[in-house]
A and B are shown apart, each in its own frame.
Chain A
Amino acid sequence: MQYTLLIVLLPLISFIFLGLMDSKLKPKVAGIIGTSVLGIITALSYTAAFEYFTMHKIAGVYERLIPLHIEWVRFTEFLHIDLGILLDPISIMMLVVITTVSFMVNLYSTSYMHGEKGFQRYFAFLSLFTFSMLGLVIATNIFQMYIFWELVGVSSYLLIGFYYTKPSAVAAAKKAFIVTRFADLGFLVGILFLSFYTKTFDFGILTSGNPNVFASTVGVSFMGLSVMSWAMGLIFIGGAGKSAMFPLQIWLPDAMEGPTPVSALIHAATMVVAGVYLVARLFPVYEVYAPDVLHGIAYIGAFTSLFAAVIACVQTDIKRVLAFSTISQIGFMMVGLGVSGYGAHEGLGYMASMFHLFTHAMFKALLFLGAGSVIHAVHSNEMKDMGGLRKYMPITNYTFLIACLAIAGIYPFSGFFSKDEILAATFEFSPYLGGVMSIIAGLTAFYMFRLYYSIFWGKGHKHAHDHTPHESPLAMSIPLIFLAVVTIFAGFIPFGHFVTSDLANYDIHLDMTVAVMSVSIAIFSIGIATLMYRKESKIPNIMGKTFSHLHKSASNRFYIDEVYIFITKKIIFKNISTPIAWFDKHIIDATMDGFAGVTQWTSVKIKGFQSGQVQQYAYIFLLGTLIIAALVLFV
């Protein structure tokens, strides 16, 4: 399956070409090149997926294929960074997800970004992002993943800051990069620990289950935690940064400053699930050698999910609602992984998490693209500028509704199946956690329908621009329709036949109690949302007043951003950097200047002796002679 190399290389070539040509190309040509390259690689990944899932199964277990593998740089006898392609069910699944969403986003952007300055640059960056993300998922070793991890971070930086004349976009891009960089520091140190003890970066060796690999970690511990817990915990910090887990979630809502299709691609479907993918990739290691960390991941995921869901209920910017909803859903995926074990039924959580990753990518991309379509029509992100749009934008309306139903977990939409499996796995792990996750699922249904009603129902408000909103052009509606179709039917994919923790088949059984319960909760929450937001009603205001404290805190995102500003501005800038710079100038440098000063002072003081006046020399000479004579005579 050597041709999979093309899947990665083509976007790179497209990036280089578009990047170098830039404004020499006509915008239209750039759009066509970018989109058609994505079209080609999407077709290639579908072919690859088909070929892999039909032909590379030996005795009911999927093989791991490595069609390409080169040594890139060698560090020590054992440690070397390789670049290669690893094909296994999860990487194939990610290839499909990334190329599909990216293709849709490219197509959508040809129309959405029409007439924007830097249109060519935009498509170059999209290609760069796609290349990096694909490189990340096919990584054969953890260091290759880290390489592409960084590249993904930079592409995200470039795309968030696409409107570089807008200060808020520049600030958001910077914040996203630095927060994730901070997390990457954890990732890097984790890699260093892991590789030092296992003498390898290779995923194949790490996840082979061979205990000899981890022999030298036995008994090594630091501050009460085993070295593997440290390593895997630190690596998870990297994942938590990219996947916006608490408390590193702060960059994601701000990242909505980027163009909306970018949010759909990077900050909903692909890059933000990189952390989930990382944990899934190293899952066998987590499961056996760092179960404490794995459980920690479950609790962090659950907390983040709850936290973000509460905030999503009160945000008024539609993209921010979606951003918090993304954080919350990634929390679900993390919980799925965290509660999972290894093997057929034990591995339900793992399977469910990957399933949710897949379905979420589709319906969340759809939601974002739908939101983009709305924003395109009303030229605003704020709910108050919307309302009653269902009459003007039928396609957007229906596709958005489908996505809302999917995320709310209504049968038979895809979100129902994947979320349900996660809930089932969670209930098996701990009923309390399961209960919490069900409540979050209810909140999800509530805030999504709050969003839906505020946009498409109710009275049409005075729009910022006087023209009537209209449906978006074809290039924008086709992706919406395509993703909506996927969202409707994806739930029926027998996912357990493709992706499982042990690469073997697993038949999913719907747990009826969980299913019935979760659907009823969802319908109940949708009911409340209908009551409150379908028509203008006083309930939201009353609720807001009753819980004014909670409402205010949630609107301000529980003041986490203020904490960060305090840390960066007050502590790092004011209390570390400024004093260091002062110290450098007034102590270190002043000492050096001091040496020079002393030298000069001394020379000024003693230069009088070299006056060139003979009488002075004679005088001193005489004085000296007298003193010596006196000494000789009297001592």
Chain B
Amino acid sequence: MNFLSIFVLVPALMMMGLYVSKTRKQIQFVTATGASILMILSGVITYMYLSERAAGNMAEMLFTADTVWYAPFNIHYSVGIDGISVAMLLLTSIIVFTGVFASWKIDPLPKEFFLWYCLLSIGVYGFFISTDMFTMFMYYEIALIPMYLLIGVWGSGRKEYGAMKLTLMLMGGSALLLVGILGIYYQSGATSMNILEIAKTTIPIQAQYYLFPLTFMGFGVLGAMFPFHTWSPDGHASAPTAVSMLHAGVLMKLGGYGCFRVAIYLMPQAAHEMSWIFLVLTGISVVYGAFSAIVQTDLKYINAYSSVSHCGLVLFAILMLNQTAMTGAILQMLSHGLMTALFFALIGMIYGRTHTRLITEMSGLMKVLPFLGVSYVIAGLASLGLPSLSGFVAEMTIFVGSFQETDTFHRVLTIVACTSIVITAVYILRVVGKILFGVIQDEHHKHLTDATWFERLSVVTLIIAIFALGSAPFWISNMIGESVLPVVTQLAK
């Protein structure tokens, strides 16, 4: 067992702690401590990673470990991280931490809620530290199942429908994925399912032609790629706050990460030849999601469609197949994760007070909820790409990177994707103007109370992270940039 597995171990210990806790106080203690430890751990791992790199360790993955798990099928439990995983671990820790505080007073069944919540985090953490495709897939499934219960039990509105839809569509995606993974394994002729091993082999091009679309689509479903995105609005709308945060903030990133790590890394030839199909689809996602968001009236739907647009940009940039755009894609994953989590947290908090998410039923909330209002504006500004907030750096890296592709097809698509910055501004300002500004219409809204301390903690943590990424992007973009390099070299072969 390698020390990376501690990221999986801590949530597991949290589950045990939760199992024995009786009162809400104890539950809160266990989750808060666990989440804080995870935060610290991801800080430590970042430091370790950077100092190792600074010491000149240029291995593709650091801190690797490999244990045979099930010898007959060559299944290994192998872990290792590069700059991208480190970035994702940081993101996950921040979201898990803030998610805990956002659902501080979750009702009913707090214990069960957090048990499933921890299981979900095990899946996500495990996914990011795995280098073995099978382990990865297993963790992916672990992350998927709790989602169904979390939405189905603690959700709101049409929660059974939303939960079912989300789980079934993602399961459908993972079915494609399983076929893809097995195909890759057998076609590559490698002796294990370790990605690093398989990358050294060459998968026959005929096989790549069907395996690439399978894996890309499989992960693409999770990345809300058009036309497989419809689970996102309905799923998010009915999910409880923390689950929306974790799902949009981290789980959707599994899609982009997987596309990058498995589909493109292992099948570079097919990526070159078939990227145009997916570029068109993701290009559509970017604009289509943004336009759809303009006319929605439910806050969560707006944010879900905005996620479709932003996550579309992630996959779009990955498919540009050059270092800058891919770096931008990973930055966008971080940035989108943070700001969408902030959005969902705030929407949850506003909903908890006004009992409505319809923008037509709210107005003038800035006056009574100044803290939440200002935070919402900041989240909105991050989303529309204000410099000094995270969205700007990510989007600009993507646009500059995509523009390095000289042919007309890529150029046109890039410019089309650029238009999203205007459309985003339209829907963000529409919402801000409707719900926060103006005069309070609803009498009940005049007596709302602003955020409590745990809500503030959650929101402020996210805002600080957004600011940090947006104002000092250099170290993280360098860290990601050099980790993208192996994939770029693989593509150049």
A contacts, CB < 8 Å to B: 71-76, 79, 81, 143, 146-148, 150-151, 154, 157, 161, 164-165, 167, 170-171, 173-174, 177-178, 181-182, 184-185, 188-189, 192-193, 195-196, 572-573, 576-578, 580-581, 584, 588-589, 591-593, 596
Contact = CB atoms under 8 A, between A and B. Distances in A.
Given A189-B418, A580-B288, A178 B425 contact: yes
Interface in B363-396: 364, 366-367, 381, 384-388, 392-393, 396
A170 B436 CA distance: 10
A185 B386 contact: no
Interface stretch (B79-87, B177-185, B348-356, B470-478): B470-478
A156 to B, nearest CB: 13
B437 A161 contact: yes
- Category for how many chain B residues contact A: 35 or more
Contacts of B296: 581
A165 B403 contact: no
Top 5 nearest A-B pairs (CB, nearest first) are: A147-B387, A164-B437, A577-B294, A589-B230, A170-B437
Given A151-B386, A167-B438, 10 more contacts: A73-B397, A74-B481, A75-B396, A181-B422, A192-B414, A577-B291, A581-B291, A581-B295, A581-B296, A588-B230
A178 B429 contact: yes
A301 B32 CA distance: 61
Contacts of B421: 181, 184-185, 188
A76 B403 CA distance: 11
Contacts of B164: 596
Contacts of B292: 577, 580-581, 584
Contact of A185 (B226, B384, B422): B422
Contacts of B204: none
A358 B474 CA distance: 37
A178 B227 contact: no
B430 A74 contact: no
Contacts of A72: 473-474
Given A79-B400, A588-B230, A573 B422 contact: no
Contact of A576 (B291, B418, B422): B291
Contacts of B474: 71-74
B430 A174 contact: yes
B272 to A, nearest CB: 20
A92 to B, nearest CB: 24
Given A185-B422, A192-B399, A170 B433 contact: yes
A592 B171 CA distance: 13
A272 to B, nearest CB: 19
Nearest to A591: B227
B68 interface: no
A576 B430 CA distance: 16
Nearest to B421: A185
Contacts of B414: 192
A73 B480 CA distance: 12
A271 B387 CA distance: 17
Nearest to B405: A196
A593 B473 CA distance: 42
B426 interface: yes
15 contacts: A75-B396, A151-B387, A154-B386, A157-B429, A165-B364, A165-B367, A165-B438, A192-B399, A192-B400, A572-B426, A576-B291, A577-B295, A580-B288, A588-B227, A592-B231
A185 B294 CA distance: 18
A181 B422 CA distance: 6
Contacts of A143: 396
Contact of B426 (A146, A178, A188): A178
Interface in B408-456: 414-415, 418-419, 421-422, 425-426, 429-430, 433, 436-439
A592 B169 contact: yes
A147 B392 contact: yes
Nearest to B331: A73
Contacts of B396: 75, 81, 143
B227 A165 contact: no
B335 to A, nearest CB: 13
B339 to A, nearest CB: 15
B418 A74 contact: no
A150 B386 contact: yes
B411 to A, nearest CB: 9
Contact of A76 (B169, B404, B425): B404
B40 interface: no
Contacts of A177: 425, 429
A174 B294 contact: no
Interface string B453-491: 000000000000000000001100110010000000000
Nearest to B397: A75
Contacts of A76: 323-324, 400-401, 404
B324 A178 contact: no
A467 to B, nearest CB: 28
Given A150-B386, A165-B364, A584-B230, A185 B419 contact: yes
B183 to A, nearest CB: 24
A70 to B, nearest CB: 9
Contacts of A584: 230, 288, 292
A589 B230 CA distance: 6
Contact of B404 (A184, A185, A196): A196
Contacts of B385: 150
A113 to B, nearest CB: 18
B261 interface: no
B253 to A, nearest CB: 21
A150 B433 contact: no
A592 B295 CA distance: 22
B168 interface: yes
Most buried by A among B164, B291, B430: B291
A161 to B, nearest CB: 7
B230 A578 contact: no
